[in-house]
Structure 1
Amino acid sequence: MPQGRLKILLLDNGKEWGGGTNSLLELLKRIDRDRFEITCCFYHNYRRDNEETIGDVLNAMGIPTRFIVQRRQPFWAKLSKEILRGLLLFNADWRKRAVQAIDQRWRVAPNARRIADLLRAGKYQLLYMNNQPNSNVAGYLAAESLPVAMVQHCRIEPLLDPPIVARVNRGVRCVIAVSDGVRQTLVQGGVRPALCQTVFNGIDIHQPLPDGARLRESLGADARTFLFGSIGSLIARKAHDHTLQVLGAFQQAHPDARWKMVLVGWGSEQTNLARQAAQLGLGDRVIFTGFQRNAMEYLAAFDTLILASRSEGLPRVVLEAMLLGTPVIGSAVTGTAELVRHQDTGLLFPYGDVAQLAHHLATLYSDADQRRLLARRANERLRRQLTIENYVAGVEAILVGGYSS
């Protein structure tokens, strides 16, 4: 540990507020300010609920924030990409490399220069990069020629190619993986195993818990109405269309069942999903709430949480469901499958297997005893292994070790 506080520049290039953002904020709320002096650097001052910005939140926490404003893609870059895509139509690898080279010139290299300027001006000792290596190339470029240590926090399954793997192996002191599955993906992609450490996200088990009764009432759900729910961005990766497909079949099989489906979140797929729900005859059953700050209150109102995603890192919404006692049906993908142990702390199905999802959905709809048993076991595991204290301590230890090694 250096004399005084370790000076850290935290780099995040995210564009939207998601579970990874919330996990990062939970860390920053609790990190030891006597040991770590952190400044955050963002590419976008994104908002939640179209009101509060990430800058507002960090300012209220007393954490300095810098923004590297992103310029629009210049015409020459866009035109060059279109020409090269046409010329290299039959060679996907060359086409990808050509596009990356253009992006490197107009976007990545200028960002790297500005990050390097920040690192030098602030005399930072460590660059702590959030998200995944593939999205932090500018950070690697900025720090590799400076006396600055690098730590990467990989919160989702990473996209890896040989050039970025080479940069990781050459430059970082540690890659933090949010789950063993993410760590395995890193290692299988070529990142040196010694660099990769798993630190599971955690949750505050002592926080006041909401009562979802009032919210259920506002959604038109009485005690006999079963509430299925999902919380997360309405994007293709979350596979909400699979869930709606299954609910359409469920409605046909159980025409007298009293239920609603609540989709909490917003995103590019909302129009398509609303159209799908209408086509399936579920227009009066499916509720789109948009982004909600009180997501945990919705979780408390649900009878079952459905997470049908194609990929995850370590989904915070599952941790919240475990804390609240809401049973989970999840796709057996990285992260989710480490939190949800099939028929022990929840139910799993292979991603895209709508028949298996339908079976689990019908099972939990009809079996209250199983819902209670799964929820109790999930809560017990959470309290043993997945606390916020373990998460923060694990990251702090790696930050210190990353600088000292």
Structure 2
Amino acid sequence: MKILFVEAVQNYGGARKSTVELAGRLQENGHGVKIIDFWGTCEPFVQAMEKRNISYSILDKRQTPFILASSNKIKMLSNYMKYLQLLSAYRKKIKLLINDFQPDLVIVNNTKTLSILSKSGSYKIAFFARGWFLPRTVNRFNTILIKKLTDIYIGVSQSTRQAIFSGGFAALEDIYTVPNAIDYTGFLNDFKDRENIPNWSDDQADRPFVIMHCGGFLPSKGQHITIEIAKKLKRDKVRFKILLVGIIYQGDASQKYYDKILKQIEEEQLQEYFEIVLNKSDVLEYFGKMDVLLHPSSTEGLPRVVMEAMALGKPVIGNAVGGMTDYILHGFTGYLTNFNSIEDYIKYCGLLQKDKELYGFISNNASGLIGKCYTTDNQIEQLLKIKVK
């Protein structure tokens, strides 16, 4: 099979990493693969493609990505008008690239990339929903566009698959699930000896309990919830430290939210409890420093950071949104909270901090689940179930 991925990359986050990995695995399995990126502005993404020797093309080389969203409605309208002027040129360029590559399947993951494509009898268009894809989050225009141009639907999790179905986009039998995957052995080997990763145990009791929150700075990622958790832990005189790891996305919304988070930390006098790590494309070194991952997100597809934490035996506590329920069996592979419940987060942090045997139980089950169920072989098997002829 020949597969073309069309991307509009702004930051090299979990979803983009997963795209490059999937393309590379398909290529290693003898399939033809090519990636087209709109602007080529994200250097780590380009470097990752080159490292895996993946063929790629840049549609419109720019220094910065073209951002449509803005907190200023007039500016956002202007952005859309400018982008509409580019669409015609983009459609001509993508048509030439498709004719040259002759794909069987073209995969997109948003309406921006979908909008430059046309229906064809020579290839199928697959919409790969990498978020939760709740029907209420897809506006009417995008719904019409997706239904008009999409031949095949792919969800990154079972939760996403159900959301696609409930939105009336396709019948269940016409929606495929292609989960994220991890080279489990290779991933652990990157840390050399897993025993050297300081999981919480009796001989660790003389240091603070290290909590990590990893995600881009947006309200939907819930850094403000982590601050509320920190306030309660401080009041309860718990010894703790929080690693706040994330990307400030392109556009002003992310920067404003990040500034708000910094202000809250200062106002609550929590500076000594927080270490902030910004804009690193590779954050795995920080996984070895944490004891538990908090994930108070309000929407998810199948979060890569959760998969990686679990693979390393790091217990995860998170909201039961999207693909979180694919990963976490409550009390067995991690803990699911009532939505944004500070009390639940405090409770489960306390259980894991105080009960080392329970910590080891959750740790082993979480690692085992990822090692058995989220393998590269399983990911490729699920994608190749897609019928393109």
Superposition TM-score tier, normalisation by shorter sequence: 0.7 to 0.9
* DSSP-derived class of the 1:11 partner: strand
Match of 2:154 among 176, 181, 200: 176
CA distance in 2, matches of 1:66, 1:226: 46
The code of the aligned residue for 2:241 comes to K
CA 1:354–1:106: 2 relative to 1, 3 Å: farther
* DSSP-derived class of the 2:269 partner: coil
Assess if the C-alpha contact under 8 Å between 1:11 and 1:42 holds in 2.
yes
1:287 corresponding residue in structure 2: 275
**Which residues in structure 2 correspond to 1:6-405 (within 5 Å)?**
6-33=1-28, 35-47=30-42, 52-69=43-60, 82=74, 102=81, 105-129=84-108, 131-132=109-110, 134-139=111-116, 142-145=117-120, 147-158=122-133, 159-193=137-171, 194-207=173-186, 208-210=189-191, 224-254=207-237, 257-267=238-248, 268=255, 269-398=257-386, 401-402=387-388, 404=389
The code of the aligned residue for 2:311 comes to L
1:95 corresponding residue in structure 2: none
CA distance in 2, matches of 1:372, 1:13: 41
CA distance in 1, matches of 2:215, 2:244: 8
What is the deviation of 1:372?
1.4
Assess if the C-alpha contact under 8 Å between 1:262 and 1:286 holds in 2.
yes
CA distance in 2, matches of 1:169, 1:236: 29
Assess if the C-alpha contact under 8 Å between 1:309 and 1:331 holds in 2.
yes
CA 1:199–1:223: 2 relative to 1, 3 Å: farther
What is the deviation of 1:70?
7.4
Assess if the C-alpha contact under 8 Å between 1:7 and 1:123 holds in 2.
yes
CA distance in 1, matches of 2:160, 2:366: 21
* DSSP-derived class of the 1:275 partner: helix
The code of the aligned residue for 1:179 comes to S
* DSSP-derived class of the 2:271 partner: coil
CA 1:160–1:99: 2 relative to 1, 3 Å: farther
* DSSP-derived class of the 1:197 partner: strand
CA distance in 2, matches of 1:223, 1:344: 27
Offset from partner CA, 1:301-345 (integer Å, 9 cap, x none): 211111111111101111111111100001110011221111111
CA 1:20–1:258: 2 relative to 1, 3 Å: same
What is the deviation of 1:14?
2.7
CA 1:32–1:68: 2 relative to 1, 3 Å: closer
CA distance in 2, matches of 1:150, 1:386: 25
2:252 corresponding residue in structure 1: none
The code of the aligned residue for 1:150 comes to I
2:251 corresponding residue in structure 1: none
Q: TM-score scaled to structure 1, two decimals?
A: 0.80
What is the deviation of 1:361?
2.5
Q: Which entry has the higher C-alpha Rg, 1 or 2?
A: 1
CA distance in 1, matches of 2:92, 2:118: 10
Assess if the C-alpha contact under 8 Å between 1:266 and 1:290 holds in 2.
yes
CA distance in 1, matches of 2:34, 2:94: 12
* DSSP-derived class of the 1:284 partner: helix
What is the deviation of 1:170?
4.4
What is the deviation of 1:241?
0.9
The code of the aligned residue for 1:67 comes to I
Assess if the C-alpha contact under 8 Å between 1:23 and 1:201 holds in 2.
yes
Offset from partner CA, 1:323-376 (integer Å, 9 cap, x none): 111000011100112211111111111332223223223332322222211111
The code of the aligned residue for 2:157 comes to S
Which consecutive residues of structure 2, in runs of 5 or more, have no partner in the other structure? 199-203, 249-254
Offset from partner CA, 1:38-70 (integer Å, 9 cap, x none): 2211123243xxxx4322221232222211227
Assess if the C-alpha contact under 8 Å between 1:212 and 1:297 holds in 2.
no
CA 1:109–1:356: 2 relative to 1, 3 Å: farther
CA 1:348–1:135: 2 relative to 1, 3 Å: farther
Offset from partner CA, 1:103-125 (integer Å, 9 cap, x none): 77334444333322322343334
CA 1:102–1:228: 2 relative to 1, 3 Å: same
Assess if the C-alpha contact under 8 Å between 1:226 and 1:259 holds in 2.
yes
The code of the aligned residue for 2:20 comes to L
1:94 corresponding residue in structure 2: none
CA 1:110–1:263: 2 relative to 1, 3 Å: same
Q: TM-score scaled to structure 2, two decimals?
A: 0.83
CA 1:292–1:105: 2 relative to 1, 3 Å: closer
Identify which range, 287-296 or 23-32, moves more after superposition: 287-296
Total equivalences in the alignment: 364
CA distance in 2, matches of 1:115, 1:73: 18
